[in-house]
């Protein structure tokens, strides 16, 4: 019998590295995209299938890290046998579906969606939309001169030091609401309020952000597809015409604030950090950060001399 | 959920109104008095904290009813009570027309200026009110979309907030002064006895005024049997169908409904039997039964007449439906603008429950079913079934994407049967006479009878019940023809989401297939008559305004498309076409097709339907007054 108390004996060390459970084997099914058969996993969406088939389907309110809400209707495709077009981003692929991604009906619907958006929203900072409008031949001026059509134009909301909400650029894609809610942050500081054309992203009673439940994680900025939400640092530079995206460098580093190890992408212009993001496909962050990682970078810069 | 609630606190009156719905607060965490001994030792979270979200709309209604508006403090208190983030609650309260977030006077008149009322002088009345009172809500009135009182047009709904809130219809309106008087009147003492009730109801069914009720099946009891008495209902044959249903058993009932070839009467004409069968077989539990009584299609009032005139029939029909499909809980989502239907239906449910016809053990036969009413908040879109579910669940009334369909994923994410009032009203008869006999009435493709809401410039507006297959012309004759012996210009079939037809459509048999053949649809049964002097252009503008106002705002084609459609029509009407008229028409056609093809739900998909039909048939638009035939 040994003299040592039993709790002195560490358990034998396993030589095996723990592995996550294997992915369940999903059945595969075949669907037809523009006349070409594609095999996808059960549960895949039509959009997944289209991408697999190499067919380009534009999206606006869709993001890989968020639950699809299919509200922008830019990704609509024609499903044989369906009375209306279906949203590729959310509709699950079913065996035997026949999809047309660029039929006349599809192209018309997309053109109109782009025209309707561009005729009511300032899309100047929305990446990729100008090219898309050109390729679909979208001409928003068909709906009349700007002064004679309703728009969502309004002054930008600047009510805190960290980020700006310029809802004149908002296409109401619901992404920020999702990121603030169940899909990422669980803060629920913003929601869609009002109805119809007057629907807006809003805090309760439109109170300023500092009064609301906002925790300034900025995850709403990360998912905004039009630049309606932007860091104050970016907004201010844009205002004076000094935002030079082409000249910026991007450097990945690991956030030093805590032990989680989020990847930060530092956007640097003229040797100053002007914005911090995180890659969408990063396994730690999925593009999300907290207030420190996203906004706590000013201390890096030298203190300006008097 | 960690809530951050800041800002004003609710007044004692607001708290009392909320507590009347939710019960007293359980703890300091939920807005009650702080008790550090008790509250410091308890924690609530997860599903338990958020499970009562469906009481959000009833709580908001309670505050609106009591104070006439919902203040920041009241909303904060509701959020605390139900663990709802204030921003989400704000999203909900700002969605509904009947809920105001600005102070309003305790008495408010909602004056209808929609299609049917316009044809009978509503615009003059509204302009009179604007001159006398101004157009701000602070003066106790505002314009309203269709109130479902079209047979009494022009109409208004007067609502008085307070400890004992009251609301009643004011129709027909003679002039602006009628509304003005109603705002100041003490109308607590209104005559209410069985005879008065029945006389009011008989006016809504002019078909029976000649004494002949022979063809009436759904309307048989409307105006003859006191709608507030269960005994009267039973004496008139009520509840025999439930007895028969319990003999048949669930599977036979579904088989009979399928054999009856009953098609949904809400507008989509989906086979009811197939819906029931899918839910009856669904493995997920519990199942829910929902009656869609959110009748808001402009020009539609048949469900209101059924609910006001024969409320027990709906309770009985829903009991049968629940038994057949394995539902223990049912909801009636009732249009918020129907105060009398609400009173009658509430009364019917209370009496049925007291008589053991609802509850844990219906008729002592070991089957449980209970029913509750949820009031809509004034949003047309909530008549769309999935928007209706979201509304009951305490969310914004935004339609969901389909599939999945309600029979798989419906209310609270469970298999759900959802039927229109009129559809359900057919069920007791099918159970009693058998599906085959029922299918023998009407035509091959459309079995049974149909209710039509006849309004506008017609001699005898009201609800008419006819066998499927009767022609549009026969219906118009039955209603006494065009008012004042004028010439017929057009008929709006199926409501704002339907289409205009001309006099050439009079021989069309009124069936689902017959109307489809002429490119129209029965929709909700609207038959609105426009005589030769009517301004069709004005009607089209009102329809465009209606859809802009009622779009939920979720998807781009509908949210922006309905606005552009209205602007385009205004340009045409005002003679300010961009480029040529042909250019505008091309633009309209493209817009209409994109809305039809790419909108999420039926609202956007049909928002241009009536306008499109009018522009095709009456190319003279915008030249008003004498549209004439194409």
User: Considering A64, A80, A102, which residue would you say is the last residue of a domain?
Assistant: A102
Task: With H, G, I as helix, E, B as strand and everything else as coil, classify residue B293.
Answer: strand
| Alpha carbon of A148: minimum distance to chain B alpha carbons (Å) | 9
Tens-place pLDDT, residues B257-276: 999 999 999 988 999 999 99
Q: How confident is the model at residue B189 (pLDDT cuts 50, 70, 90)?
A: low
Lowest mean pLDDT among A14-18, B204-208, B298-302, B464-468: A14-18
Asked if the Cβ–Cβ distance from A84 to B598 is below 8 Å, we say yes
**Are A70 and A135 in a shared domain?**
no
User: Considering B63, B93, B123, which residue would you say is the last residue of a domain?
Assistant: B93
**Are A266 and A140 in a shared domain?**
no
DSSP secondary structure of B49-101: HHTTGGGHHHHHHHHHHHHSS--HHHHHHHHHHHT--HHHHHHHHTT-TTS-S
Residue A287 resides in a domain:
yes
Residue A16 resides in a domain:
no
User: Considering A81, A102, A123, which residue would you say is the last residue of a domain?
Assistant: A102
Chain A residues in contact with B605 by the CB 8 A cut-off are 84
User: Considering A148, A173, A205, which residue would you say is the last residue of a domain?
Assistant: A148
User: Considering B478, B513, B531, which residue would you say is the last residue of a domain?
Assistant: B531
**Are B278 and B366 in a shared domain?**
yes
Go through B508-547 and write b for each residue having 16 or more CB atoms within 10 A of its CB, e for each that does not: bbbbbebbeeeebbbbbbbbbbbbbebbbbbbbbbbbbbb
Q: Are B170 and B160 in contact (CB under 8 A)?
A: no
| CA B556/CA B566 separation, integer angstroms | 15
Asked if the Cβ–Cβ distance from B401 to A90 is below 8 Å, we say yes
Q: Does A33 contact chain B (CB < 8 Å)? A: no
**Out of B1, B86, B571, whose CB is closest to A204?**
B86
Asked if the Cβ–Cβ distance from A113 to B556 is below 8 Å, we say yes
Asked if the Cβ–Cβ distance from B101 to A205 is below 8 Å, we say yes
Task: With H, G, I as helix, E, B as strand and everything else as coil, classify residue B373.
Answer: strand
Q: What are phi and psi of B84, to 5 degrees?
A: -115, 130
Percent of chain B with pLDDT over 70: 97
- CATH number for the domain harbouring residue A230: 2.20.25.90
Tell me the mean pLDDT in the region B499-524: 95
Q: Does A149 contact chain B (CB < 8 Å)? A: yes
- CATH number for the domain harbouring residue A40: 3.10.20.740
Q: How confident is the model at residue B188 (pLDDT cuts 50, 70, 90)?
A: low
Determine if residue B498 is left, alpha or beta; phi over 0 gives left, psi from -120 to 50 gives alpha, anything else beta: beta
Task: With H, G, I as helix, E, B as strand and everything else as coil, classify residue B528.
Answer: strand
**Are B516 and B540 in a shared domain?**
no
Q: Is B323 exposed, middle or buried (0-12, 13-18, 19+ CB in 10 A)?
A: buried
**Are A138 and A214 in a shared domain?**
no
pLDDT above 90 for A288: yes
**Are B591 and B553 in a shared domain?**
yes
Tens-place pLDDT, residues A103-154: 999 999 999 999 999 999 999 999 999 999 999 999 999 999 988 999 999 9
pLDDT above 50 for B553: yes
Chain A residues in contact with B570 by the CB 8 A cut-off are none
Tell me the mean pLDDT in the region B28-57: 82
Q: Does B628 contact chain A (CB < 8 Å)? A: no
Asked if the Cβ–Cβ distance from B567 to A143 is below 8 Å, we say yes
Q: Does A142 contact chain B (CB < 8 Å)? A: yes
β-partners of residue A251 are: A266
Sign of CA dihedral B556, B557, B559, B560: positive
Size of interface A-B (CB pairs under 8 A): 162
Contact residues for B116 (Cβ-Cβ < 8 A; gap 6+): B146, B150, B153, B298, B299, B455, B456, B461, B528
Q: How far is CA B149 from the centre of its chain?
A: 12
**Are A184 and A213 in a shared domain?**
yes
Tally of CA atoms within 13 A in the half-sphere of A75 that contains its CB: 27
Q: How confident is the model at residue B622 (pLDDT cuts 50, 70, 90)?
A: low
**Are A177 and A273 in a shared domain?**
yes
**Are B174 and B239 in a shared domain?**
no
Q: What are phi and psi of A170, to 5 degrees?
A: -90, 125
Task: Please count the other Cβ atoms lying within 10 Å of the Cβ belonging to residue A303.
Answer: 7
Mean pLDDT over the full length of chain B: 93
Residue A13 resides in a domain:
no
Task: Please count the other Cβ atoms lying within 10 Å of the Cβ belonging to residue A109.
Answer: 28
Asked if the Cβ–Cβ distance from B559 to A197 is below 8 Å, we say yes
The angle formed by the CA atoms of residues B397, B403 and B409, to the nearest 5 degrees, is 70
Contact residues for B620 (Cβ-Cβ < 8 A; gap 6+): B626, B627, B628
- CATH number for the domain harbouring residue B509: 3.10.20.600
Tens-place pLDDT, residues A56-93: 999 999 999 999 999 999 999 999 999 999 999 999 99
Q: Are B117 and B153 in contact (CB under 8 A)?
A: yes
| CA A175/CA A179 separation, integer angstroms | 6
Nearest alpha carbon to residue A162 among A223, A230, A111, A110: A230
| CA B528/CA B499 separation, integer angstroms | 10
Residue B193 resides in a domain:
no
Asked if the Cβ–Cβ distance from A192 to B90 is below 8 Å, we say no
Q: Are B174 and B192 in contact (CB under 8 A)?
A: no
Chain A residues in contact with B4 by the CB 8 A cut-off are 212-213
Q: How confident is the model at residue B433 (pLDDT cuts 50, 70, 90)?
A: very high
Best of A195, A212, A213 to mutate (most B CBs within 10 Å, chain B): A195
What is the domain extent for residue A114?
A: 107-148
DSSP state of B166: E
Go through B473-487 and write b for each residue having 16 or more CB atoms within 10 A of its CB, e for each that does not: bebbebbebbbeeee
pLDDT above 50 for B167: yes
**Are B73 and B111 in a shared domain?**
no
Pairing of strands B327-334, B287-293: parallel
**Are B326 and B461 in a shared domain?**
no
β-partners of residue A201 are: A192
Q: Does A288 contact chain B (CB < 8 Å)? A: no
Q: Are B541 and B573 in contact (CB under 8 A)?
A: yes
Residue B627 resides in a domain:
no
Sign of CA dihedral B304, B307, B313, B314: positive
Residue A10 resides in a domain:
no
Best of A46, A86, A112 to mutate (most B CBs within 10 Å, chain B): A112
**Are B138 and B111 in a shared domain?**
yes
Chain A residues in contact with B87 by the CB 8 A cut-off are 188-191, 193, 202-204, 212-213
Tell me the mean pLDDT in the region B396-407: 96
pLDDT number for residue B208: 86
Tally of CA atoms within 13 A in the half-sphere of A255 that contains its CB: 25
Residue indicated by tokens 């019917």: B348
Q: Does B90 contact chain A (CB < 8 Å)? A: yes
**Are A77 and A111 in a shared domain?**
no
| CA A262/CA A266 separation, integer angstroms | 12
Asked if the Cβ–Cβ distance from A113 to B557 is below 8 Å, we say yes
| CA B68/CA B98 separation, integer angstroms | 10
Alpha-carbon dihedral of residues B117, B122, B123, B127, nearest 10 degrees? -160
Asked if the Cβ–Cβ distance from A108 to B600 is below 8 Å, we say no
pLDDT number for residue B186: 61
Chain B residues in contact with A199 by the CB 8 A cut-off are 552-554, 559
**Are A292 and A252 in a shared domain?**
yes
Asked if the Cβ–Cβ distance from A116 to B556 is below 8 Å, we say yes
Tens-place pLDDT, residues A242-271: 999 999 999 999 999 999 999 999 999 999
Residue A273 resides in a domain:
yes
Asked if the Cβ–Cβ distance from A191 to B90 is below 8 Å, we say yes
Residue B263 resides in a domain:
yes
**Are B240 and B312 in a shared domain?**
yes
Residue of B nearest to A202 (CA): B87
**Are B512 and B547 in a shared domain?**
no
Q: Does B139 contact chain A (CB < 8 Å)? A: no
Q: Are A88 and A52 in contact (CB under 8 A)?
A: no
Residue B354 resides in a domain:
yes
Residue A90 resides in a domain:
yes
Output the six-digit token pair for B14.
Answer: 């607001």
Residue B630 resides in a domain:
no
Nearest alpha carbon to residue A38 among A101, A82, A106, A85: A101
pLDDT number for residue B28: 82
Q: Are A265 and A294 in contact (CB under 8 A)?
A: no
pLDDT number for residue B624: 41
**Are B479 and B343 in a shared domain?**
no
Chain A residues in contact with B557 by the CB 8 A cut-off are 73, 109, 112-113, 116
Residue of A nearest to B550 (CA): A196
Output the six-digit token pair for B221.
Answer: 């009891």
**Are B80 and B127 in a shared domain?**
no
Asked if the Cβ–Cβ distance from B95 to A195 is below 8 Å, we say yes
pLDDT above 70 for B159: yes
| Alpha carbon of B129: minimum distance to chain A alpha carbons (Å) | 26
Tens-place pLDDT, residues B363-393: 999 899 999 999 999 999 999 999 999 999 9
Domain count, chain B: 5
What is the domain extent for residue B39?
A: 12-93
Q: How confident is the model at residue B415 (pLDDT cuts 50, 70, 90)?
A: very high
ipTM of the complex, rounded to two decimals: 0.94
Asked if the Cβ–Cβ distance from A193 to B91 is below 8 Å, we say yes
Nearest alpha carbon to residue B555 among B589, B587, B603: B603
Task: With H, G, I as helix, E, B as strand and everything else as coil, classify residue B107.
Answer: strand
Domain count, chain A: 3
Residue of B nearest to A205 (CA): B90
| CA B230/CA B358 separation, integer angstroms | 13
Contact residues for A249 (Cβ-Cβ < 8 A; gap 6+): A267, A268
Tell me the mean pLDDT in the region B273-280: 98
pLDDT above 90 for A164: yes
**Are B306 and B407 in a shared domain?**
yes
**Are A263 and A140 in a shared domain?**
no
**Are A174 and A255 in a shared domain?**
yes
Sheet of B416-420: strand order equals B370-375, B327-334, B287-293, B416-420
Asked if the Cβ–Cβ distance from B562 to A196 is below 8 Å, we say yes
Asked if the Cβ–Cβ distance from B6 to A109 is below 8 Å, we say no
**Are A223 and A98 in a shared domain?**
no
**Are A189 and A273 in a shared domain?**
yes
Which residues 462-521 in chain B show a CB within 8 A of chain A? none
User: Considering B415, B438, B461, which residue would you say is the last residue of a domain?
Assistant: B438
| CA A127/CA B87 separation, integer angstroms | 29
pLDDT number for residue B625: 36
| CA A106/CA A108 separation, integer angstroms | 5
pLDDT above 50 for B147: yes
| Alpha carbon of A22: minimum distance to chain B alpha carbons (Å) | 28
Q: How confident is the model at residue A24 (pLDDT cuts 50, 70, 90)?
A: confident
Q: What are phi and psi of B331, to 5 degrees?
A: -125, 140
Q: How confident is the model at residue B18 (pLDDT cuts 50, 70, 90)?
A: very high
Residue indicated by tokens 């809802």: A167
Tens-place pLDDT, residues A165-176: 999 999 999 999
| CA A37/CA B130 separation, integer angstroms | 64
């Amino acid at each position: 019998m040994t003299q040592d108390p039993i709790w002195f004996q560490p358990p034998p060390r396993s030589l095996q590295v723990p592995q996550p459970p294997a992915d369940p084997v999903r059945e595969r099914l075949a669907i037809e995209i523009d006349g070409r058969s594609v095999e996808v996993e059960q549960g895949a969406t039509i959009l997944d299938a289209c991408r697999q088939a190499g067919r380009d389907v534009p999206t606006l309110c869709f993001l890989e890290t968020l639950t699809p809400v299919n509200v922008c209707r830019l990704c609509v495709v024609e499903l044989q046998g369906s009375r209306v077009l279906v949203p590729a981003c959310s509709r699950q692929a079913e065996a035997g579906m026949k999809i047309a991604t660029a039929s006349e009906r599809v192209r018309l619907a997309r053109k109109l969606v782009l025209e309707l958006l561009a005729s009511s929203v300032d899309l100047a900072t929305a990446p990729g939309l100008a090219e898309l409008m050109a390729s679909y031949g979208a001409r928003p001026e068909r709906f009349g001169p700007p002064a004679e059509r309703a728009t969502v134009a309004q002054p930008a909301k600047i009510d805190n030091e960290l980020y700006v909400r310029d809802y004149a650029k908002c296409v109401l894609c619901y992404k920020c609401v999702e990121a603030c809610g169940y899909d990422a942050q669980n803060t629920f500081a913003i929601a869609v309020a009002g109805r119809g054309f007057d629907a807006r992203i809003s805090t309760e009673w439109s109170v300023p952000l500092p009064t609301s439940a906002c925790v300034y994680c900025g995850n709403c900025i990360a998912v905004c597809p039009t630049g309606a939400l932007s860091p104050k640092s970016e907004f201010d530079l844009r205002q004076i015409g000094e935002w030079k995206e082409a000249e910026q460098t991007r450097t990945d580093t690991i956030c030093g604030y805590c032990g989680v190890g989020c990847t930060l992408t530092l956007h640097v212009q003229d040797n100053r950090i002007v914005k911090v993001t995180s890659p969408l496909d990063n396994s730690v962050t999925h593009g999300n950060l907290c207030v420190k990682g996203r906004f706590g970078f000013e201390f890096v810069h030298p203190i300006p001399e008097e | 959920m960690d809530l951050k609630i800041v800002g004003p606190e609710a007044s004692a009156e607001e708290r009392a109104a909320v507590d009347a719905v939710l019960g007293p607060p359980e703890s300091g965490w939920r807005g009650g008095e702080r008790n550090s001994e008790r509250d410091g030792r308890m924690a609530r979270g997860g599903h338990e904290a958020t499970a009562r979200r469906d009481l959000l709309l009833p709580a908001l209604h309670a505050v609106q009813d009591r104070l006439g508006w919902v203040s920041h403090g009241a909303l904060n208190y509701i959020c605390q009570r139900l663990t709802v983030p204030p921003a989400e609650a704000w999203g909900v309260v700002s969605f509904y027309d009947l809920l105001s977030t600005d102070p309003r006077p305790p008495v408010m008149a909602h004056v209808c200026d929609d299609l049917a009322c316009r044809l009978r002088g509503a615009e003059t009345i509204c302009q009179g009110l604007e001159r006398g009172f101004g157009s701000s809500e602070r003066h106790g009135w505002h314009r309203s979309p269709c109130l479902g009182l079209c047979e009494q047009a022009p109409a208004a709904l007067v609502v008085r907030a307070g400890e004992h809130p009251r609301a009643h219809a004011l129709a027909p309106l003679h002039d602006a002064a009628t509304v003005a008087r109603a705002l100041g009147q003490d109308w607590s003492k209104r005559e209410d006895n069985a005879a008065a009730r029945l006389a009011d109801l008989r006016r809504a069914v002019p078909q029976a005024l000649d004494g002949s009720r022979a063809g009436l099946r759904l309307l048989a009891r409307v105006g003859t049997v006191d709608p507030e008495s269960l005994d009267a209902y039973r004496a008139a044959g009520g509840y025999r169908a439930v007895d028969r249903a319990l003999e048949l058993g669930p599977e036979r009932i579904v088989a009979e409904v399928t054999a009856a070839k009953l098609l949904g009467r809400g507008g989509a004409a989906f086979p009811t039997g197939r819906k029931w069968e899918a839910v009856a077989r669904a493995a997920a539990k519990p199942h829910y039964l929902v009656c869609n009584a959110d009748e808001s299609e402009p020009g539609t009032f048949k469900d209101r007449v059924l609910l006001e005139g024969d409320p027990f029939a709906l309770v009985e029909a829903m009991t049968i439906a629940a038994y057949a499909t394995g539902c223990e809980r049912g909801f009636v989502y009732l249009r918020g603008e129907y105060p009398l239907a609400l009173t009658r239906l509430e009364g019917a449910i209370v009496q049925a429950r007291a008589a053991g016809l609802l509850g844990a053990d219906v008729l002592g036969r070991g089957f449980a079913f209970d029913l509750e009413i949820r009031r809509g908040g004034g949003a047309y879109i909530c008549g769309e079934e999935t928007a209706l579910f979201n509304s009951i669940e305490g969310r914004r009334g935004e339609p969901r994407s389909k599939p999945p369909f309600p029979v798989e994923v419906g209310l609270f994410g469970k298999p759900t049967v959802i039927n229109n009032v009129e559809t359900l009203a057919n069920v007791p008869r099918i159970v009693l006479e058998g599906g085959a006999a029922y299918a023998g009435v009407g035509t091959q493709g459309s079995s049974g009878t149909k209710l039509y809401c006849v309004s506008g410039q017609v001699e005898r507006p009201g609800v008419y019940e006819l066998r499927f297959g009767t022609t549009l012309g026969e219906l118009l004759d039955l209603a006494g023809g065009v008012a004042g012996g004028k010439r017929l210009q057009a008929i709006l079939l199926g409501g704002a989401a339907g289409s205009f037809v001309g006099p050439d459509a009079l021989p069309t048999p009124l069936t689902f297939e017959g109307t489809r053949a002429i490119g129209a649809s029965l929709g909700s049964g609207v038959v609105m008559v426009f005589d030769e002097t009517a301004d069709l252009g004005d009607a089209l503008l009102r329809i465009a305004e209606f859809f802009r106002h009622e779009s939920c705002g979720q998807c781009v084609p509908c949210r922006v498309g309905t606005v552009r459609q209205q602007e385009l029509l205004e340009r045409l009407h005002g003679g300010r076409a961009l480029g040529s008229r042909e250019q505008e028409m091309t633009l309209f056609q493209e817009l209409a097709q994109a809305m039809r093809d790419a909108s999420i739900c039926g609202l956007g998909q049909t928002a241009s339907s009536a306008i499109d039909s009018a522009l095709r048939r009456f190319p003279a638009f915008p030249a008003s007054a004498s549209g004439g035939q194409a």
